Chains A and B, each alone.
Chain A
Amino acid sequence: MLLKTKKLMKAFGGLKAINKVDFELPKNEIRGIIGPNGSGKSTFFNLVSGVYDPDPGSYIEFDGHDITNEPPHKVGELGLARTFQLLRLYQDMSVINNVMSGYHTLVPYKFIDAVIGRKKIWDQEKVIKEEMMELLSFVGLADYAEMNASELSGGQRRLLVLARAIAGKPKLLMLDEPAAGLSPVNVDNLMKILMRLKEKYGLTLIIIEHILKVVMDTCSKVTVLDHGEKIAEGTPSQIKDDNAVIEAYLGKKMDDEEMRKALAV
Chain B
Amino acid sequence: MEKFKDIIRQYPFLGFIIAFFILMAIPSIFFTDLYQSHLSSLIFINIIVAAGLNIVKGYCGQVTVGHVGLYAVGSYTAGCMFMYLGASLWITLPVAILVTGLFGVAFAIPSFRLEGPYLALATLGGGEAIRLFIENGEFFGSTYGISSISQPELFGITFDTPDKYYYISMPIMLIAIYFSFSVLRSSIGRAFMAVREDPISAAASGINVKKHKMLAFILSAMFAGAAGAVYAHLPPGYIHPNNYTVIEMVTFLAMVVFGGLGHIWGGIIGAVIITIVYDLTRPLYEYQLFIFGLTIVLTILFMPKGIGGFIDKYFIDRRFKKKQGVASK
Contacts and interface: CB of A to CB of B under 8 A. Distances in A.
A71 B209 CA distance: 10
Contact of A146 (B186, B203, B215, B316): B316
B17 to A, nearest CB: 13
Interface stretch (B62-70, B143-151, B187-195, B247-255): B187-195
B198 A100 contact: no
A164 to B, nearest CB: 7
Contacts of B197: 89-93
Contacts of B10: 119, 122
B206 interface: yes
A81 B204 contact: yes
Interface stretch (B112-120, B175-183, B278-286): B175-183
B200 A114 contact: no
A144 to B, nearest CB: 9
B13 interface: yes
Contact of B209 (A73, A115, A121): A73
Interface string B191-226: 101101110111111111100000100000000000
Contact of A76 (B12, B182, B205): B205
A100 B190 CA distance: 8
Interface in B71-116: none
Given A93-B197, A101-B191, A117 B179 contact: yes
Nearest to B323: A143
A102 B205 contact: yes
A122 B188 CA distance: 13
Contacts of B206: 73, 76-77, 104-105, 168
Nearest to B316: A146
B11 interface: yes
Interface in B308-329: 316, 319-320, 323
A116 B185 CA distance: 12
Given A89-B198, A93-B193, A114-B188, 6 more contacts: A72-B204, A76-B204, A81-B205, A100-B187, A104-B191, A117-B181
A73 B208 contact: yes
Interface residues of A, number: 43
A157 interface: no
A119 B205 contact: no
Contact of A119 (B11, B209, B320): B11
Contacts of B204: 49, 51, 72-73, 76, 81-82, 84, 165
Nearest to A51: B200
A49 B9 CA distance: 38
Given A116-B182, A119-B10, A143-B323, A73 B203 contact: yes
B306 interface: no
Contacts, number: 114
15 contacts: A73-B204, A73-B206, A84-B201, A90-B193, A92-B262, A101-B205, A103-B187, A104-B205, A104-B206, A109-B187, A111-B188, A114-B187, A117-B181, A147-B320, A164-B205
Interface string A45-62: 000011100000000000
B205 A117 contact: no
A107 interface: yes
B186 A101 contact: no
A125 B319 contact: no
A89 B196 CA distance: 11
Nearest to B184: A114
A76 B203 contact: yes
Given A100-B190, A121-B186, A122-B9, A88 B203 contact: no
A208 to B, nearest CB: 15
A109 B10 CA distance: 17
Given A101-B205, A168-B206, A146 B193 contact: no
Interface string A9-35: 000000000000000000000000000
B200 A72 contact: yes
A39 interface: no
Closest 8 pairs (CB-CB, A-B): A117-B182, A76-B206, A114-B186, A90-B197, A105-B206, A88-B201, A72-B203, A107-B187
A128 B187 CA distance: 10
Contacts of B190: 93, 97, 100-101, 104
A125 B186 contact: yes
A90 B200 contact: no
Interface string A144-168: 0011000000000000000011011
Contacts of B11: 119
A76 B204 CA distance: 5
Contacts of B188: 111, 114
A101 B202 contact: yes
